[in-house]
Amino acid sequence: MSAPQLVITPNKEQALSLKMQLTLLALPKNKRTRIFKTLGRYEKRLAVQRIRTQTDVSGAPFAERKKPKKGKKNRLLQRMAKTLEPFVKNGDRLELKHKSPAVGRVAALHQEGGNETMTAGHMVRIHRKSTNYDAPCSRGAAKALVAAGFKVRKAKSKRYRKATVNETQGLMNQDQASLILRKLRGKDPKQSWEIPVPARSFLGDSADNVQQQLLSIIEQINKGKRG
């Protein structure tokens, strides 16, 4: 999936009027570059505003997370607009896109919607800093193990009995508890899985608004020149 970008060119595809196209093309290249740069900064502000208000290009609220994070403001795409930069090519093509390819790929997924492939290794890297796998087995994990049939050997016997929660906690750490619980439940850990991501289009504009902004920018630049 390619990174999302807002591309504006003075041609029929952008639905600019013939008068507007001729006005732009008659200007010197450096002036057209300045105009498109100014337009790009305006479009970036629109993207920032949409993320701040959590609304898409049409004004509809962003689709919420499937599992909201507890105790946090569940605001989406917080960093997506910060790395947007306007690039002008040949004085007649504006591209508003992300400087970072990695951020661009994530932004594209949210802009267009689709499936994100998550791997076990990536999840470990994400949670490595916040999760202490060497910590003692939690009471919740111990209860789950006991419910799944975890047993310990009887004293002076080769037979096994059902373990208590306290015993289970004292026998292992959190990482070992997770591994044993998966085995007791007969579940092999998934190595990769798909996460559906709904479209949250924060980047884009209508042809009418683009044309209106171009006229306004050209007028402001001309006023500044006369002044």
Residue 141 to residue 176: CA distance in whole angstroms: 10
User: pLDDT digit string (tens) for 64-98?
Assistant: 887 666 655 678 888 887 888 999 988 888 888 88
Cβ-based neighbour number of residue 74 at 10 Å: 12
Amino acid present at 3 = A
**DSSP label of 189:** P
User: pLDDT digit string (tens) for 38-58?
Assistant: 999 999 999 999 999 999 999
Question: In the predicted model, what is the mean pLDDT of the chain?
Answer: 82
1 touches 197 (CB < 8 A): no
pTM of the model: 0.65
User: What integer is the mean pLDDT of 116-140?
Assistant: 70
Binned at pLDDT 50, 70 and 90, residue 202 comes out as very high
pLDDT at 122 over 70: no
pLDDT at 188 over 70: no
- Residue 66 has a pLDDT of 73
Binned at pLDDT 50, 70 and 90, residue 146 comes out as very high
Cβ-based neighbour number of residue 61 at 10 Å: 10
User: What integer is the mean pLDDT of 29-39?
Assistant: 91
pLDDT at 187 over 60: yes
At residue 202, φ and ψ (nearest 5 deg) are -105, -10
- Residue 198 has a pLDDT of 93
pLDDT at 16 over 70: no
- Residue 68 has a pLDDT of 64
86 touches 40 (CB < 8 A): yes
pLDDT at 130 over 60: no
pLDDT at 24 over 70: yes
pLDDT at 127 over 60: no
pLDDT at 32 over 80: yes
